[in-house]
Amino acid sequence: MIKNYFKIAWRNIMKHKVFSLINVIGLTIGLSASFVIGLMIYYDYTFDTFHKDGDRIYRVVTDFHSPQGNFNNPGVTLALEEAIKENSNFDVVSGFYQERPAKVENKAIDKVVKWPNFVIFTDANYFKIFDYKFLAGDKTNILSQPNNVVLTEKRAAEYFPNTAPNEIIGKTLVYNDSLNVTVTGVVENFKERTDFVFEEFISHPTVLQTRLREDFLNKEWANTNSSAQLLVKVSSSADLVAIQNRFDALAKEHEDEDSKKYGLTQKFVLQPLSDIHFNEAYGIYDWSKGQASRSLLTNLALVALFLLLLGCINFINLNTAQASQRAKEIGIRKTLGSSRKQLIGQFMGETFLLVVISALLSFLLSRWLINVFSDFVPEGLSFDLFKAPIIIIGIAVLLLVVTFLSGFYPAMVLSKFNAVSVLKNHLTVGDKKVKLRKFLTVFQFSIAQIFIIGTLLVGKQINFLLNKDMGFKTDAVVSVYNPRGEGEISKKEIYAEKLKAIPAIKDISLGGHAPASMSSNSSSISYVDDNNEVNTDLQFLFGDANYANLFQLEILAGRGIRNDSVKELVINETCRKKLGFTSPEEAIGKTVLMSDENIPIVGVMSDFHQRSLRSDIKPMAWRGDWYRARFSQFQAVHVSFQNNAEGNLKETLSKIESAYKTVYTDVDDYRVEFLDENIEKFYNREKRISKLLNWATGLSILISCLGLLGLVIYTTNRRVKEIGVRKVLGASLLQINTLLCKEFLVLVAVAFIIASPIAWYGIDSWLQDFAFKTSISFWVFLISGSAMIFFALLVISVKTLQAANANPVNSLRSE
């Protein structure tokens, strides 16, 4: 029986090649998207799920609340570990400190590794929380002594190439030229997906021999560093509310005077292990990986769902439209004794066959899609994940659901036919079914329309973001950063001097970051008027006297910085308003209180955007390099080019680099950034959304138009006789085409009316993230509506023109 069904299903598919192709294309697109996106969701949700008692492992993080806003820090104060160690709610408390050594040496073979990453100071408790497999070394008493280190297999292979783990034990590594450390263990890297990517575990007491000594000897409650991490494993009977209460009490108890004064509170929070991979507020340890985003995954899942729905709708539409062609077969089968249930089974079987064909195609496509969507697909995701049992089960379930969604309704319709009327050709396709098909078509086109409007508006916003005047010079400016950790000013000055010799360079300025950047440095200041006091957070822009000139910052009143080391500020308009001065001139000569020092305001500059246009303009001040003696804040040399130097930019850049090499001879850390490229990077997320929308739009238009084509082919074929008669009566090609197109265009128009407000609402809420936004213009809707009608008309005309062109003699004779 089953064999018979599949046989007839296959023959039917082959007989109606166009319809089958449309169905398969629609379903394949939907399924491919679902497969890839399903894999991504699976991939991201299986991070750190393999740890024993993973649901009891938490990271303690800190949330700061202040009148200026809330800040999240993945670290906690070093003092907290001591304070909760004895609490019975915790099975294990393990603090660790992330610190990147400048270099590590294996003197025995003269192997030097610079800036190794993922190095932490920790103790045996870390290995109680996470169960590492020890390849060598004794797990008991591990890391209890100073100057011990445990390496992962991978890191060990780097320091001690071609050495067995057992032989590495007892060998010595030298950190930062001075710290001799003995390897006491080698552990296996986690095989499963994990965010705990640490490779090198130095025993905790060793920290006292490093620059961090003071921090660890005097653990201050007021000092929070994101490198100081705290993991806990709560006991199985732990009372999470009691833990939180204890945290709150500790925070309250150790609140200092300044915090009270400025309304700053800190709150310790338990972050579940499963949250670490997703929560952008606290981040993960490997920054280069880019964090998984629940909202992105949700959006992707929605896209997949819509594409799949569109495919299913095509199926329903085409199959119910084609029903009359199958009617005879159904009638015969009924007279031969088939029950309705058996017929439904048969049609579901046919649907399933198509779905399986689509699924097989989708597997092939997924491979390619994973590459196309590399911006979204996490790096470690590979095709092999398809082998995971849960994925296989998931796919099987998905296929069944899709089969049911697309096949059930047509099966019900088809199997309902009355055998007698079918065989006597009394079949009438009810009005109801036509209505349903119209409804579904409208649904499809609404989705496509929403995507089109969304794409255009997101594109418009991105265009707006990129072209909006930032308020300072952004083009033809590069910043060369000095080697990391270089606190001296002298070499930078020498370098700047050397650059002056390059003729293509117009201006040079030593400074911190450019006026707009991802980083910020701020402090709170207060201004005391005759009767009231204003407190505000003030961001700093470090730059020498030429900084404003180079970036073309406009000075509204007063003057710029004259000297790098004189303590004076040039504030921006926002800060001026915040402090309550009515005009720029009024601010000149006033002083603000900053860390118990009175600093004079010598100038006011106009506002410019310090960050992406998502955020507002904040109070900001341009200042010099006041603490140069200790550590210079001038980390970069900013360079602007002559206007006519465009042509040999490459040559100039290589000159800039070679000048760098003559100054910094012993380090290899050349970093150059183009300001306009940096600003573009602010909007990477928006660009990704735009790319996703482009794809979703293209695919949804494709699927919807294919479905429309199917319906048009069907309807036109049924009206061949009518067309013939009309032609004989003298109708022109255009008249017939209009007649045929009209009913479909009405559907597209209805879809537009439905889609517009939904798209408007969606985009409007998306734009709320931006402090500066483009307008949602009327013309965008007009264009997208026209585009949709254009596409629909194109598709419809392919068939209707052919039908209208046909010789009426042929169509009339066959009757």
Partner 1 sequence: MTNTLLSLNEATRTVNSGSNKVTLLDNIDLQVKEGEFISLMGPSGSGKSTLLNCIGMLDSFTDGGYTFLGEPVHSMKEKNRSKLYKEYIGFVFQAYHLIDELNVWENIETPLLYKNVKSSERKAMVADMLDRFNIVGKKDLFPQQLSGGQQQLVGIARALIGQPKLILADEPTGNLNSKQSTEIMELFSQLNKEGVTIIQATHSEKNASYGSRIINLLDGKIVSE
Q: Which parts of this chain interact with partner 1 (CB under 8 A)?
A: 1, 4, 7-8, 11-12, 15, 328-329, 331-339, 342, 419-420, 423-424
Residue 650, number of CB atoms within 10 A of its CB: 8
Alpha carbon distance 165, 292 (integer Å): 34
Helix (H) or strand (E) holding 64: strand 57-66
Task: Calculate helix-pair angle for 294-321, 340-372, nearest 10 degrees.
Answer: 140
Nearer residue to partner 1 within complex by CB, 169 or 423:
423
What's the closest the beta carbon of residue 8 comes to partner 1, in angstroms?
5
What's the closest the beta carbon of residue 767 comes to partner 1, in angstroms?
55
What's the closest the beta carbon of residue 337 comes to partner 1, in angstroms?
4
What CA dihedral angle connects 773, 778, 784 and 789, to 10 degrees? Answer: 170
Q: Which two tokens stand for residue 197?
A: 């990517």
What's the closest the beta carbon of residue 15 comes to partner 1, in angstroms?
7
Nearer residue to partner 1 within complex by CB, 425 or 521:
425
HSE-CB of 634 using CA atoms within 13 angstroms: 28
CB 692 within 8 A of CB 300: yes
Q: Which two tokens stand for residue 48?
A: 């750190």
Q: Which two tokens stand for residue 564?
A: 């790098």
Nearer residue to partner 1 within complex by CB, 5 or 495:
5
Nearer residue to partner 1 within complex by CB, 7 or 562:
7
What's the closest the beta carbon of residue 373 comes to partner 1, in angstroms?
40
Nearer residue to partner 1 within complex by CB, 341 or 650:
341
Nearer residue to partner 1 within complex by CB, 336 or 501:
336
What's the closest the beta carbon of residue 415 comes to partner 1, in angstroms?
13
What CA dihedral angle connects 697, 700, 701 and 705, to 10 degrees? Answer: 180
Beta-carbon contacts of residue 561 (< 8 Å; ≥ 6 apart) = 543, 544, 545, 547, 548, 568, 570, 602, 603, 622, 623, 624
What's the closest the beta carbon of residue 2 comes to partner 1, in angstroms?
10
Question: Sign of dihedral through CA atoms 568, 574, 575, 580?
Answer: positive
Dihedrals phi, psi of 470, to nearest 5 degrees: -75, -15
CB 710 within 8 A of CB 314: yes
Nearer residue to partner 1 within complex by CB, 11 or 435:
11
Alpha carbon distance 573, 621 (integer Å): 10
Beta-carbon contacts of residue 677 (< 8 Å; ≥ 6 apart) = none
Name the DSSP letter for residue 381: -
Which among 60, 56, 55, 52 is positioned nearest to 271, based on CA atoms? Answer: 60
Task: Report the 3 state secondary structure along 270-297.
Answer: EEEHHHHCCCCCCCCCCHHHCCCCHHHH
What's the closest the beta carbon of residue 777 comes to partner 1, in angstroms?
54
What's the closest the beta carbon of residue 423 comes to partner 1, in angstroms?
6
Nearer residue to partner 1 within complex by CB, 139 or 328:
328
Q: Which two tokens stand for residue 641?
A: 């080019």
Nearer residue to partner 1 within complex by CB, 351 or 366:
351
What's the closest the beta carbon of residue 46 comes to partner 1, in angstroms?
46
Amino acid code (one letter) for 486? E
Residue 732, number of CB atoms within 10 A of its CB: 11
Alpha carbon distance 675, 682 (integer Å): 11
Nearer residue to partner 1 within complex by CB, 94 or 346:
346
Nearer residue to partner 1 within complex by CB, 12 or 34:
12
What's the closest the beta carbon of residue 347 comes to partner 1, in angstroms?
13
What's the closest the beta carbon of residue 5 comes to partner 1, in angstroms?
9
The Cα-based distances of 201 to 60, 104, 142, 167, 214 in angstroms read: 20, 13, 10, 18, 21
Alpha carbon distance 708, 703 (integer Å): 9
Nearer residue to partner 1 within complex by CB, 334 or 590:
334
